[in-house]
Structure 1
Amino acid sequence: MKDLAKFDAQYDSSHEDTALQTRGLFLRRFPLHSLDKLMLDDYVVGHNEPSFCNLVESGTKMWANIQGATSFKFGIYFGRTKSDPTRKYRFAEKFGTSEKEAFAVVKAALLDLVALGAAPSPDFVAIDANPLSQMFKAKILSLYYSERFLAVCSPEHLDMLGEIMGFDVNLPRSKYQNLLLKAKSGNSLTAKWSEPKFMAYLYKVYVRGDRAIGSPIDKPRVKKHRRVDFEEMQNQRSKIGRIAEEYALAWEKERLIGARLEHRVKNIEDRRDHPGYGHDFLSFNTNNKHRFIEVKCVAKLSDGHRFFLSDNEHQTSLTKEHREAYYFYLVFLGRDGRPADLLAVLAEQLYPKAEMLPSSYEVRFDRCEFHKTAE
């Protein structure tokens, strides 16, 4: 595999964190053991969203993008077509003649698929023969068995990457998903990467060509010297509150689940009442490596966004112990003033792309020293 070191140096970890969190959210909403109780309206898009299909398609887009094809890829859905604006259950003819019959067949295929995926040595031929659509079942397998099936869902991309990696031709697409993960594990550098990071590498280097690696953070175009409103600054700090912090904590728990570190959820340490630590939560990047999390409520400005950072937090993030694992969990509020989104950014990746402005200092002195001077 080529350009591994170059990609590793440029990669923005916020992508993999969001991908892992969305997988964790999916697994929390639809754990494997609950699928046999799945009801029609909990499955289809168009009802009770976020539904199973809604989360597989758009809710976990950062894990793998399968948007583009029609909703018939799910086997059955609730909605309209271009020629018929009536909202109703619609299904592929191969699954039956009524929504009840079609869903029964689709559900049976789903249960069969996850059973096949659970096998230590999966029957790849049987998986590929499953009647669910290729991209849909490939993503389902990657969500439930991320250690066994890489989330490359497009048949064309699987064939292309299989050829590039030197795999045998005309293998089942599900086996290519499996072999790509074995290739990841077989390299000393990529073996340490998460599945989303390896996916991003494959698409950046091989599928999409030499595109620049995008970042969700950009430096402000023009440096502005704003008057500091200390009352507004304190109000903004207070606005973070417990709601935003609890939102970030729930997000982090889902990220750990998505990273197959669910056993570490109970070990997250809440340090909010101990500001000397310089961060809010102590979590985990891997089973044995810590992640330091500082939650920040982000304010929207006309030319970007802003949050306030204490000197202690800043200095802590730069220490040798913390700098490679100190993350800002930036909480964005919706129109109702409640948390609506979160971006996890490594501090050392944010600082070069941000404008740092002084806001306040803590001044300490001994009054007695002034009396001595006066004497």
Structure 2
Amino acid sequence: MSNPPFLPYGRQTIEDDDVAAVAAALRADFLTTGPTVEAFEAAFKAKVGAEHAIAVANGTATLHLAMLALGVGQENGGEGDVCIAPSVTFLATANCARYVGAEVVFADVDPDSGLMTPETLADALKRAAQGPFAGRRVRAVLPVHLRGDVCDLPGLKALADGIGAVLVEDAPHALGSVATFDGVAHPVGDGAFSSFASFSFHPVKTLATGEGGMLTTNDAALAARARSLRGHGMVRPAGAEPWVYEMPELGFNYRIPDVLCALGISQLSKLDRFVTRRRTLTALYAEKLAALAPIVRLATSPAWSDPALHLLTVLIDFEAAGTTRRAVVEALKAQGVGSQVHYIPVHGQPYYQTRYGALDLPGAEAWYARCLTLPLYPTMADGDVDRVVEALAGALT
């Protein structure tokens, strides 16, 4: 009898029509940047309810372009701006500020959801105002919709507005998620509270293009600047000969090819199905994991958040279980179940410790000490959830 297939923590869902869409793009006139890019942008902005969408090479590039388009960074060679980023995130959230010469002040997170909150942002703003960066402009706040749950955007925006900063939503986990504030439902990416929202289409994300990303915004000027910076900073002067271009500022080659956007369009047509399946699997996990409480519980979802979870993260009291995370990870792997840790707090990374020194963020540390991500992707069967939970129960006994 063969062993059941290995269950990774996440994986892409590629079907025959996706393959056909890519094959058609390969046979078309444009292999790189062509009309399919614009078609993907149009479909995406319609899906999330934004005025503008800018497709780029990868998720990190979206964040870098957002910083550039907003003018974040060093002015006239002087001291740089400050950005606030949560410590529980992938490296790119903080790194994008450093790419443009800005400094990073790390915000703590709620220990049970992993999200930046108005309270942890207020603390970070206080440290920014009283620490070594006192007097510098806090230009941007970068909340991360961790796992797919949505941050308290109105609360964060009110604090940012109070100091003249903007929000840039780091939303690769949250495509398809919806938050309801004051009775109004907001799809993540609709631009109601932020200058930009950033998405990634890495294979384990809700929508896959291999590599790729998207910025959404409701600001036409910001969208135009991001598009220019995506293509080396080039613009076509109005009324000039068709071959003429100018480069008024330095940009990058962050373009995405037609062939990947063809896959993106095909995937986007299935987003509702992917989201429904993720929510069904999440509900099954909640039911099955209840037997392992209080040692194991799902990460907390805020009341306003209706997530399409990208990550199924549980919080485990390893000490009470008499084991370690490493032992659990290895026991799960032996049963054919993959897992991952999201994330190691960025403020503890060597680069940032060297630059800013040690920092005590108890919420981030409490999150990291307990978190473990379990398999979640649309092609999982209902029985796979039973298999994962049974393997986890065995690993904890």
Does the pair score TM above 0.5?
no
Tell me which protein shows more helix as a share of its residues.
Answer: 1
TM-score, with structure 2 as normaliser: 0.22
Q: Does 1 or 2 have the higher relative contact order (CA < 8 Å, sep 6+)?
A: 2
Q: TM-score, normalised by structure 1?
A: 0.23
- Which structure would you say has the larger Rg? 1
